[in-house]
C-alpha cells in the first residue's frame, strides 16, 4: 500500500471520527431541530405556514452533510420566525381594521333619545288597580302643556309601555293606557301606534295616538311621544 493511499485513508478516518465526536455541534443541531419543531407547530396551529418554503428548507437539511445541516437548521429557524411574526402582525392589523370599521359604522344615538324625559314613578307599574297616586295622573294634558316631549320608562316605572290591559284605577290614574301594537325594529325610525285606556272593564274605552322610536339595539330601549288630544284622567302604564 502506497504512502498516498495510507494518508488518504487516515484522513477519511479522522474526518469520520471528528464528526462522531463533535458533541458541541451535535448539541446545537439538536437544539435547533427542537426549536424548529416548536415554531413549525405554532405556524400550523395559527394557519401561518408556507408549506413550499418549509418543505424546501427541510429537503436541504436532509440532503446536506452533517456539517451543513446546522447552518440550514439556523436558516430554517430564522425563516419560520419571520413567517410567524408577519402572520401575527397581519392578523392584528386585520382585527384592528375590523374594530375600527365596526366603531365607525355604529348607529348614532338619536337626539330624541338623548333629550327624552324619564317616567320613574313607582305607581306607573301598578297593574292591579290599587288606586295609587290618588288616581290623579293626567298624562295627555301634561304632555300637551309641556310641548309633547319624548319620554321613556325607567327605574321603578319599568322599562317599556305596558302590553296588556290593566284593571280600572291602575297606574296612578282612573284609566291606565297600554298597547299591544308591535314596536319598531329599526333604530332612529319613528313609528305610530295606538294606545288604549281601559275603563269599566272595557279594554279599549279610549284610544290615543303615540309615536315610538327605537333608540338602540338594546332590548326595550324605546322613547314615546304623545300625539293625541287632551283627556283626563288617563296615564301611561309601565312594566319590566
In the chain, which residues have pLDDT < 70?
1-25, 49-67, 93-107
At residue 21, the pLDDT reads 43
- The reported pLDDT for the residue numbered 64 is 57
Here the cell at position 154 is 325607567
Among 189, 190, 229, residue whose Cα is nearest residue 209: 229
What's the confidence (pLDDT) of residue 18? 42
pLDDT at 54: 67
Instruction: Give the E-state strand segments of the chain in sequence order.
Output: 117-119, 151-153, 160-161, 175-178, 190-199, 202-214, 222-226, 234-236, 238-239
Whole-number pLDDT of residue 55:
64
Three cell numbers at 24?
458541541
pLDDT of residue 77: 82
pLDDT of 221: 95
88: left (phi over 0), alpha (psi -120 to 50) or beta: alpha
162 Cβ neighbours under 8 A, 6+ residues apart: 127, 171, 176, 177, 178, 179, 236, 237, 238, 239
Determine the pLDDT at residue 29. 81
pTM: 0.57
**What pLDDT does residue 63 have?**
58
Amino acid at each position: 500500500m502506497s504512502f498516498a493511499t495510507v494518508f488518504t485513508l487516515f484522513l477519511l478516518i479522522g474526518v469520520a471520527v471528528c464528526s462522531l465526536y463533535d458533541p458541541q455541534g451535535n448539541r446545537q443541531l439538536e437544539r435547533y431541530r427542537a426549536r424548529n419543531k416548536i415554531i413549525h407547530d405554532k405556524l400550523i396551529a395559527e394557519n401561518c405556514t408556507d408549506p413550499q418554503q418549509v418543505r424546501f428548507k427541510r429537503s436541504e437539511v436532509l440532503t446536506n452533510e452533517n456539517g451543513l445541516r446546522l447552518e440550514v437548521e439556523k436558516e430554517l429557524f430564522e425563516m419560520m420566525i419571520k413567517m410567524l411574526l408577519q402572520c401575527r402582525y397581519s392578523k392584528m392589523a386585520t382585527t384592528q381594521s375590523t374594530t375600527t370599521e365596526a366603531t365607525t359604522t355604529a348607529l348614532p344615538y338619536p337626539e330624541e333619545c338623548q333629550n327624552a324625559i324619564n317616567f320613574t314613578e313607582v305607581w306607573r307599574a301598578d297593574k292591579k288597580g290599587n288606586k295609587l297616586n290618588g288616581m290623579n295622573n293626567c298624562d295627555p294634558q301634561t304632555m300637551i302643556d309641556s310641548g309633547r316631549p319624548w319620554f321613556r320608562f325607567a327605574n321603578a316605572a319599568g322599562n317599556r309601555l305596558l302590553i296588556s290591559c290593566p284593571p280600572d284605577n291602575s297606574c296612578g290614574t282612573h284609566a291606565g293606557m297600554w298597547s299591544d301594537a308591535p314596536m319598531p325594529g329599526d333604530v332612529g325610525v319613528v313609528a305610530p301606534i295606538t294606545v288604549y285606556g281601559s275603563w269599566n272593564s272595557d279594554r279599549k274605552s279610549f284610544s290615543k295616538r303615540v309615536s315610538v322610536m327605537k333608540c338602540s339595539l338594546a332590548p326595550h330601549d324605546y322613547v314615546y311621544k304623545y300625539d293625541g288630544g287632551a283627556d283626563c284622567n288617563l296615564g301611561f302604564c309601565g312594566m319590566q
